[in-house]
Chains A and B, each alone.
Chain A
Amino acid sequence: MLVPQFTVAENVVLGSKPSWDMNLRRGDIENDVRAVGEKFGIRIDPGQRVATLPIDVQQRVEILKLLYRGATTLILDEPTAALGPAEIEQLFVSLRDLSASGHSVVIITHKLSEVMAIADRVTVLRQGKVVKVAARGSFNAEDLAVAMVGHAIREVTSTPRGSDDEGATLDVRELVVTGDKGHVAVDRVSFGVRAGEIVGVAGVEGNGQVELAQALSGLRRPAAGSLVIGGRDMTSADPRTLHRNGVSIITEDRLRWDLIPDLTVAENLALSSVASGGYARAGLLRRRAMRGAAERLMDEYGIQPPIPLLPAGSLSGGNQQKLVLARELSRNPRVLVVAQPTRGLDVAASEFVHRRLLQLREENCAILLFSLDLAELLALSDRIIVLYRGRIAHQGDVRDLTTTDVARAMAGMSGAA
């Protein structure tokens, strides 16, 4: 946890000195922090305010904070959740340096690629039990995946269909969206998503995906351009109107936008129905019907523990995600805008989510999928568009795309084939 208003040095020193120490000099602590940073090869300007730093640098500040206190063991819980590929690589370099200099690093992650990239030893937990312990060289990705889910995974892969923007259910034309800081975050973007098609949006985090998704969700008014859904202009529609027109939204930040952690699971599942007048009789909530529907959905989506009256905030991240999916998919939406659907989920839960999305595609829903996980995009999408600095840097049928093409476009290298 960092205090965004404080400088790097202030954050690092915070709590490590007695609070009656009146002799803290800004220059001194900055020098201290700089020295520790140099020692461990973490070079950050200690005078910078944390709020102005990108996420990956903030993360290094967290690590620096631990090292400053003389920590010899670092435990990192999903450290790459918010990072792009290049940032992850940089983090791994720092971590390798630390382990080389005698520190112990424990990483809790669900991404096999990361384990393969960095782990000297791996422990696999399944349902609270250790199911596998192995040292580098004696495990491979397949082994670990099997250990994690308990059975071999059938890679979910869609059979892509060639398509173009003709007759698109979701049609975006020359859309311009401004970001929080007033900059142009989405710059004259045009694309379409047809019924029964998944269009993937690739890109390194912070290239306009969030702003685009919010514009499509009615949470951010586009500055220019048009958004047409099912033949009707929805450019400035509010979430309520979109909702009534069969648009389902799953955001990347489920605790902020999708769920109300203090309400029960049943209430969360019924939320959008209640908003459009469902579950009401004579002015009262049909609570038994709500609970019954919740029980059915929880069973269908395997939400654990299967208790509808639990606060949604008490569920694990994966189960919260399933809850959001259950609510939005059970509406049989015409259009689904979904961001990072498997972030923070384990292999089995991710596979479940993928299956559901493909099933929804079979049911003729137009799906726009935002993901930072390239493998996920390649496995699910019919077409992929790559956002770079708010513009479409590259797009194409997934069958004609190679990972290299997409990666080059994501990195802003022009001339991708």
Chain B
Amino acid sequence: MSVTDEVQPRAALRQPSRWELPFGSIATSIASLLAALVLTGIVILVLGANPIQAYGAILSGALGNPYNTGLTLMVATPLILTGLAAAIPFSARVWNIGGEGQLYAGAIASVLVALTFTGLGAVPLTILSIACGILAGGFWGAIGGALRVFAGANEVIVTLMLNFVALTVADYVITGPWAQNISPQTRNIPKGVTLPTIWPHTAVDLGLILAVIAAGIVFVLMRRTPLGLAIRACGFNPDAARLAGFSLGSIIMTAFAIGGACAGLAGAILVIGVNRALVPDISANYGYIGIAVALIAGLRPLWILPGALLFAIITVGGNNLTASSNISTSVSLIIEAIFVIFLLAFRVIRLQEATS
């Protein structure tokens, strides 16, 4: 009999948590998705429908024809950006739950700019409007970061609360001086201020390109710049980052600001490209779903692209469930939720394997 045990209590007690390792691998994500599909399949069976048919309905609903595919890509666009909004601060191991509020901040700023500076030409106004949306999102994110850094507040609670503040401001803008007074929304932005459609006869506009470019920029930022190294260092081992001379406060603020800027861009795209005005519920919980997107992508900027597409497929395709399988569209929410639960569960298993 051989008993091996590291008799170094001090070293053992201090062992750093495996949460410091990069978030789970892509294989974990795929396994979680399969497990979620199987479990949801059982739920669908209980509901009296054929799971294979139901999944077929989701796929055809999301990708079955160019129009639906366009719709899926349109939904994927803000999800890419809110995924980035979560992933960047997560990489510094601070939790940005405020993607939704940052998206609204971007939407509010872009609609106000587009309605105010109508004297500018259409193209400059579009660019200005988007830029202000990005800045406003970044500012809203930085508020959360600043409260964390300077006041020691819990960033999860602060960013969550800031979502409600942003929603309330959005309500004011919709019902206040900018109201359209016909339906509950602001006046429409000037005609020329728009994002050109890049796929004729579908809803896919330049916003998708902007989102993909943003993911590319974030990839370069995280892997190829001093700031990215600082963010990753801060996330992996804040103690060592501090001792090496990094200023953790400014890293955290910057991570929140850049994340918020991504969400702000999503808000601007939703206003300018999709809705042409600020409308209630302009975000279909994109800020929150973005957190799940960031997690399944293992916080890797480029993997956020397929991650966002996947959630868009489930969301858009889910609308086809009632028509084709006669079950509720909320089954798609069940898939998404179980998917994330499995993802977290598998990560816990990996965590135990890694430390045993």
Contact = CB atoms under 8 A, between A and B. Distances in A.
Nearest to A280: B226
Interface in A242-265: 243-244, 249, 251, 253, 255-263
Contact of B12 (A2, A69, A73, A244): A2
A75 B14 contact: no
B244 A271 contact: yes
A276 to B, nearest CB: 6
B240 A71 contact: no
A79 B8 contact: yes
Q: Say which size band chain A's interface belongs to.
A: 35 or more
A217 B225 contact: no
Q: Say which size band chain B's interface belongs to.
A: 35 or more
A240 interface: yes
A279 B226 contact: yes
A63 B5 CA distance: 9
Interface stretch (A27-35, A54-62, A142-150, A375-383): A54-62
A383 B334 CA distance: 70
B232 A272 contact: no
Contacts of B11: 81-82
Given A2-B13, A71-B1, A72-B1, A283 B225 contact: yes
Interface in A62-86: 62-63, 65-66, 69-79, 81-82
B8 A240 contact: no
Interface string A217-254: 10100000000000000000001100110000101010
B3 A73 contact: yes
The SS class assigned to the A binding surface is mixed
Contacts of B181: none
A4 B14 CA distance: 10
Interface string B1-39: 111111111111111100011100000000000000000
Contact of A77 (B6, B22, B240, B246): B6
A257 B240 contact: yes
A244 B228 CA distance: 21
Contacts of A55: 9-10
A131 interface: no
A275 B8 contact: no
Interface of B: 1-16, 20-22, 220, 224-226, 228-230, 232-233, 236-237, 239-247
Given A76-B7, A251-B243, 20 more contacts: A71-B1, A72-B1, A74-B5, A75-B4, A77-B7, A82-B11, A219-B243, A256-B239, A259-B237, A260-B233, A260-B237, A261-B16, A261-B237, A262-B21, A270-B229, A272-B244, A274-B229, A275-B245, A284-B225, A285-B229
Interface of A: 1-2, 4, 50, 55, 58-59, 61-63, 65-66, 69-79, 81-82, 217, 219, 239-240, 243-244, 249, 251, 253, 255-263, 267, 270-272, 274-277, 279-280, 283-285, 287
Please provide the 4 A-B residue pairs with the shortest distance between their CB atoms, ordered closest to farther.
A58-B9, A275-B245, A71-B3, A243-B245
